[in-house]
Structure 1
Amino acid sequence: MSGATPPHPPRRKRMSRAARERQMLDVAEQVFGERGYQATSMDEIAERCGVSKPMLYEYFGSKDGLLVACVSRSKAELLDVTQKAMAGATTPEDILWRGMVAYFTFIDSHSKSFAMLLREPTAETPETAEAIEATRRQQSTLIAGVLATFAPTAPADVIEAYTQIIMGASERMALWQTSRPDVSAEDAARYMTDFCRQGLSPYLTPPPPPSSAPPPSAQAPPARR
């Protein structure tokens, strides 16, 4: 029998607080989306995270607090992805298109939790409702700026009204998209940009008229002296 000391099992690397919080939010969003708010338990989230339930409460205070943290994180991420997408645009219409694609792509990747928030109003405690409204206000500000660029002659009240119309329509479109796997983010974005183009058509800057002068190749050669 060998007297060698058996090797110690490798120690698990301790996660930083920020990394642990990201993990908890990732798991919580998944469980909320799968189970719905009412049927979700902190026990299941803690078990999936591999942490104790008291630790979960230490980070977020309550199940409501955990849901609010999920919504708040999504708010920041949505703003980041839409701003980055629009940064590379070269025309007002391209800004609108890129913003719409970014929005519907983001919602598609969070479709279960997004659908849960809209379909399960009992999940909306005052704190959660305010977090959702803060996300809407954030997106409204972004959309209003895009529309003002897209339709530069539109009065301020028209921009404000269409911003609200687009916010409501985008949420319904996104909810419809979550139940239609055949509808891509680009499809949804195309429907919305077509809608914007038609509705704001009286305020769009018309394209420059075609030149009436014939192309150089079609012009008669100069008369010889």
Structure 2
Amino acid sequence: MPRAERERQMIQVAEQVFAERGYVTASMDEIADRVGVSKPMLYEYFNSKEGLLLACIAQSRSELREVTEQAVLGATAAEEALRRGLHAFFLYIRDHRQAWSLLRHEMALIGTTASDEIEATRRQQTDLIAKLMANYFDEGSPLRVEAAAEFVVGACERLAIWCERHEEVTPERATNYAMDILWEGLRGRVR
């Protein structure tokens, strides 16, 4: 199997094990067994269990950025761009529950490089939203745009956590809930 394909396979299995067991109790032995490789091979690819976790988080961050960027392409109005971006986020959360689990369970990872990687994911989304807002909104200052983007990211993260407890809430419904609150505050700032 080509190295890149094997690496993706290892990351996929590790994501499952980390989501099922939690990072602390997940074992490299179990991950290696499920992948069908030796434990030394995992270490050869990722150097450590934390390195494997970081690879999982980096992959999730990359995928999340890709889906949100693609979702807003071609949007012609601020409301449409916001709705598309939110919907892409909530779809990603639903369709990638294991990846989302890794991103949101950072309390067990405090003090590790992984907590920095999770914060980098938030920062990535904040930067993406701030860039989008700067194109549509008259916020007056870059600091104000960044503050609004941080609010959107924080609110959506909490709403996504709430959605986990309410499986009947579809990505479309979560998007509508978020738009009801967020768009009300942003509508008057459209250029």
TM-score by length of 2: 0.92
Q: RMSD across aligned C-alpha pairs, in angstroms?
A: 1.6
Question: 1:158 aligns to what SS in structure 2?
Answer: helix
Say which one has the larger Rg: 1
Partner of 1:80: 66
2:96 corresponds, among 110, 131, 143, to 110
Partner of 2:75: 89
Taking the TM superposition and a 5 Å limit, the aligned residue runs for 1:12-27 are 15-27=1-13
Q: Which moved more, 1:195-204 or 1:96-105?
A: 195-204
| CA distance in structure 2 between the partners assigned to 1:57 and 1:81 by the alignment | 30
> For 1:26-79, what per-residue CA distance to the aligned partner results, in whole angstroms no more than 9, with x for missing partners?
101111111111121111110000000010111111111111110011111111
Identical aligned residues as a percent: 47
2:20 maps to 1:63: no
Question: How many pairs are equivalent?
Answer: 190
| CA distance in structure 2 between the partners assigned to 1:125 and 1:51 by the alignment | 30
| CA distance in structure 1 between the partners assigned to 2:161 and 2:98 by the alignment | 10
Partner of 1:45: 31
1:33 corresponds, among 5, 19, 36, to 19
Partner of 1:222: none
Instruction: Quote the offset at 1:149 in angstroms.
Output: 3.1
Q: Answer yes or no: is the 8 Å Cα contact 1:93–1:150 preserved in 2.
A: no
| CA distance in structure 2 between the partners assigned to 1:192 and 1:146 by the alignment | 17
Partner of 1:123: 109
2:171 maps to 1:178: no
Letter in 1 for 2:159: M
Partner of 1:194: 180
Q: Answer yes or no: is the 8 Å Cα contact 1:64–1:125 preserved in 2.
A: no
Q: After the TM superposition, which segments of 4 or more aligned residues of structure 1 sit over 4 Å from their partners?
A: none
CA gap of 1:110–1:189, structure 2 versus 1, over 3 A, is same
CA gap of 1:165–1:136, structure 2 versus 1, over 3 A, is same
2:147 maps to 1:154: no
CA gap of 1:76–1:64, structure 2 versus 1, over 3 A, is same
Q: Answer yes or no: is the 8 Å Cα contact 1:96–1:150 preserved in 2.
A: no
| CA distance in structure 1 between the partners assigned to 2:180 and 2:132 by the alignment | 15
Question: 1:131 aligns to what SS in structure 2?
Answer: helix
Structure number with higher helix proportion: 2
2:131 maps to 1:145: yes
Instruction: Quote the offset at 1:123 in angstroms.
Output: 2.5
Q: Which blocks of at least 5 consecutive residues in structure 1 are unaligned? A: 1-14, 206-225
